[in-house]
Amino acid sequence: MTARQYLNPALDRAALAQAFAVAGRLHVPDILAPDFAAELAAAMAAEVPWTRAFTVNGKGYDIALAAQAETPADVMAAVEAAIAEGGRTGFQYDYERFRVSDEVEAGRRPAGDLAPLGQLYDLWNSDAFLGLIHDITGDDRALYCDAQATRYRAGHFLTTHDDDVEGKHRLCAYVLNLTPVWRAEWGGLLLFHDAEGHIDQGFTPKFNALNLFRVPQVHSVSQTAGFVTGERLSVTGWIRSRRPEG
């Protein structure tokens, strides 16, 4: 029996490596085989146990949406005010996520409609994908790739940062876009900033496209417009030189 093809076999690795060498970042269309990309999109549209992720006074929180719905209105108003203040004055994020790699590694592998997310984790940590990353980046240290499903709805954002955290062993960051239809004016763009604070380059979410960039690089995700009713869906994470300890 022929092994299933998860990655697009037609990727031009030499051309991708040449493009990545210019700025240490890359937009890779059609990264996955079409049938697997469709399965992932269906999984993301299913009943994912999303949590809302944000910071308050520098501390990160993940709150299940059901728990948020039961939180008193005055408490949520204070949380919303703290999120807004964080966005105005420093590093802040506000979006929804499902920590795929944490679930798999804790023995709670996504099943049923969500099974393709576990298969993606397996693919990301396979010789096939890590070999592709080596060919593109020229860095043979890639050993492990984590993954979280993310959902940006109206008002969600991620302010400027560079992903360089001591002890995390991050080589590259990635965004696998799984939104079937998205327009640039809706926000949710992955933006790269130059030394003067201007936008050097931006990527609009495109279905079945991988955005890959070397760490550190200053970047952000622009706020999703308030009028947007759709969802910016992606799987994001970091390619690392070491597996997590413990």
Residue 217 DSSP class = -
Q: Give which of 18, 13, 208 is closest to 129, Cα–Cα.
A: 13
Can you name the CATH fold of 23-48+97-240? Jelly Rolls (2.60.120)
CA distance 146 to 42: 21
Region 6-25: mean pLDDT is 97
Q: How far is CA 231 from CA 35, 44, 72, 84, in A?
A: 21, 10, 26, 21
Q: Is the peptide bond before 216 cis (omega within 30 degrees of 0)?
A: yes
Q: Please report the pLDDT score of residue 246 as a whole number.
A: 57
Region 177-199: mean pLDDT is 97
Q: Please report the pLDDT score of residue 245 as a whole number.
A: 75
**pTM above threshold 0.75:** yes
β-bridge mates for residue 214, sequence order: 172
Q: How confident is the model at residue 3 (pLDDT cuts 50, 70, 90)?
A: low
Domains of the chain by residue range: 23-48+97-240
Q: How far is CA 10 from CA 28, 76, 148, 180, in A?
A: 12, 49, 26, 21
Residue 20: how many other CB atoms lie within 10 Å:
21
Q: How confident is the model at residue 1 (pLDDT cuts 50, 70, 90)?
A: very low
Mean pLDDT of the chain: 96
Assess contact for 207 and 37: CB atoms under 8 A.
Answer: yes
At 24, the amino acid letter reads G
Residue 215 has pLDDT above 60, yes or no: yes
* Residue range 100-130, pLDDT digits in tens: 999 999 999 999 999 999 999 999 999 999 9
Q: Classify strands 199-203 and 190-193 as parallel, antiparallel or unpaired.
A: antiparallel
CA angle 127, 219, 18 (to 5 degrees): 50
Cβ contacts of 72 within 8 Å, gap of 6 or more:
none
